[in-house]
Structure 1
Amino acid sequence: MDIELTKDAEYLLCLMYKAYIEKRKSKIIKEDAKYTGSAENIHKELIPEWAEKDVAETCRELNRAGFLKCLYADNTVCDSHFTDKAIIYMENRFVTGLTSVLEYMAKIKSAVLF
């Protein structure tokens, strides 16, 4: 089955995967490295140039695709973590690791609406 995501979701997924790789390289245990937090947290730490509501909606898209496991409260994402499916997808897609993720992010950044 082919994975279909919007460019926004692809970009946010890459940002989250980059953060995951950096945490693992810093010897953070896998369970903690997979934690992505609330939409507010993701907005502040990973993509402040987006509106927080856009971050929440993109997290919902990643949840529907099976890449994030989200908990909801007050009509937003209050907690989330990367799924094994997301890590496997990204490992297979970017076999050379962080370098290829960063190259792809630079390539699609212009297609992402902020």
Structure 2
Amino acid sequence: MNMQTSFSSQAAQVSFDRRELGMILSLYGRMVAAGEWRDYGISCLSQSAVFSVFRRTAEHPLYRIEKHPALRNRQGMYVVLGMDGQILKRGHELPQVLKVIERKYLRLVD
């Protein structure tokens, strides 16, 4: 019975699907090419999935892109958090939520 319990807890992890990960990695690639980001980490937890981006490996993340399926029908399951943990953007559609980072990138180029 313990084996079944541990298996079901592993199966209950939240993760990004292929489409979501493709969008995030596309943004990540552009930011790496611009010299802004250098590393990332992915965490798949029981309540959420987190994609963290870093300027340097040994730092706190610059941004955390999180997916919380439990909030799907409320304020939206996607959220971008800044380095200080402040919510920068929350919503139902990942491309719309990622625009908060893309806008900052466009300002850096200007």
With structure 2 as the length reference, what TM-score do the two structures score? Answer: 0.29
Bigger Rg over Cα? 2
Whose strand proportion is higher, 1 or 2? 2
With structure 1 as the length reference, what TM-score do the two structures score? Answer: 0.28
Q: Which has the higher contact order (CA 8 A, sep 6+)?
A: 1
